[in-house]
Amino acid sequence: MNKAEYTLEVPTDRFELYRLILEKAVEGPVKVMVAGGVDSGKTTLVNFLLNGLIGEGLKVAVVDSDVGQKSILPPATVSMGFPEGPVRSLSDVYGMYHYFIGTTSPGQYMGEMVVAVSRLTEMASRMADVTLVDTTGFVSGPGSDLKRLKVEAVRPDFLVLLERGNELETLARSVGGHTRVIRLGVSERARRYSPEERRSLRNDKWKTYFRDSRVLEVDLRKIIPTGTAMFQGRELDGREKTLLSRLFDWIIFAGWEFEKYVVVKADAGDPRFPRRGLHAIDFEGLSNLLVGFINEAGLCEALGILKWIRFSDMKAEVLTPLPEDRLSEMTELRFGRIRVLESGEELGLLRREEL
């Protein structure tokens, strides 16, 4: 099921916006960013503009940065694609390049989000007449800062704001010098989705993405694990591990010292909480963790689900649709912050500092 589909039943101001973009495209590549709250009709608007512009024979790129409710697969990344013709839904767009975010909740990943959108938009606008950027519905508080940062990095020709009232006033004022702000109302046809419906839509996406996956053995000496405090600094020796394990009643899988101690452990007895200076990572939190295969260009070639890590010989078992013969092109295995099953079920989010 798709949340947003192509429709011409849009408020008339969308046709005016469309004409503005068309006029601007005569001068050179145009970048358009669409922002607004959850279910404000962002994706529907992007789809409307996309089909029209493609129909005019223009080359159009779509950057999908709505990590909470992606249209273009895979989830938890920012993706970019060049549809060849009109699409019934943005979900039908094939994503050509992806930047790994690793979670569906970008609050703690503002840096990644801004870099992702600005890199992919820049790549897109080198090749496309018009680049359309869809964004998350996270627009209040720090979400507003995230939108401002994206605008400052991308400098779109147009920032289209979809508002129910004038809730985006602050954002509109803070970016006025970097872009032309166009404020439109939310269509009365826009419909709200409950958290359960949103989760179920995400489940479908995960399931579809991991459909043709198999478990690959990844050599973490060749494909470097990143995005975590683990694996950095000096490895703890046997004595240190024994000491910590007795002190806290832990089973210790691995440990490192780099400014502070980082250990991967499971509780053997009652949970005990260490003091500052010791960062304890629960082994269980690593199972079914989302990871990204990153290439030399820093882009994400595929997602994976971490099934097992053997610290003794630095091997990881990762369920992924990435073909095995492409593994040698990967330089990093980046750790995300959501645990998910190939059935599509989400097991929970982790905080950035937990890993």
Residue closer to Mg ion, measured from CB, 43 or 121: 43
Rounded distance, CA 83 to CA 127, Å?
Answer: 12
Q: Does 9 bind ligand ADP (CB under 6 A)?
A: yes
Stretch binding ligand ADP (CB under 6 A), from 7-15, 17-25, 227-235, 313-321: 7-15
DSSP state of 58: -
Q: Does 39 bind ligand ADP (CB under 6 A)?
A: yes
354 SS3 class: helix
Binding mask 327-346 for ligand ADP (x = CB under 6 A): --------------------
Residue from 21, 31, 32, 44 that binds ligand ADP (CB under 6 A)?
Answer: 44
DSSP state of 44: H
Bin 245: left if φ > 0, else alpha if -120 < ψ < 50, else beta. Answer: alpha
Torsion of CA 219, 110, 346, 63, to 10 degrees: -90
Stretch binding Mg ion (CB under 5 A), from 11-19, 43-51, 57-65, 287-295: 43-51
Residue from 24, 32, 41, 302 that binds ligand ADP (CB under 6 A)?
Answer: 41
124 SS3 class: helix
Q: Does 43 bind Mg ion (CB under 5 A)?
A: yes
Compute how many other C-beta atoms are within 10 angstroms of the C-beta atom of residue 289: 23
Give, for 281, the enclosing helix (H) or strand (E).
strand 278-282
Rounded distance, CA 232 to CA 223, Å?
Answer: 14
DSSP state of 94: P
DSSP state of 269: S
Residue closer to Mg ion, measured from CB, 204 or 342: 204
Residue closer to ligand ADP, measured from CB, 138 or 256: 138
Q: Does 7 bind ligand ADP (CB under 6 A)?
A: yes
**Residue 349 touches which of Mg ion, ligand ADP, none (CB < 5 to 8 A by kind)?**
none
Q: Does 190 bind ligand ADP (CB under 6 A)?
A: yes
Residue closer to ligand ADP, measured from CB, 12 or 312: 12
Residue from 24, 32, 43, 138 that binds ligand ADP (CB under 6 A)?
Answer: 43
Residue closer to ligand ADP, measured from CB, 46 or 123: 46
Q: Which residues of 241-277 are buried (b: 16+ CB within 10 A; e: fewer)?
A: beebbeebebebbbbbeeeebbbbbeeeeeeeeeeee
Judged by the rule CB under 6 A, the positions of this chain that interact with ligand ADP are 3-5, 7, 9-10, 36, 38-44, 137, 187, 189-191
Judged by the rule CB under 5 A, the positions of this chain that interact with Mg ion are 42-43, 66
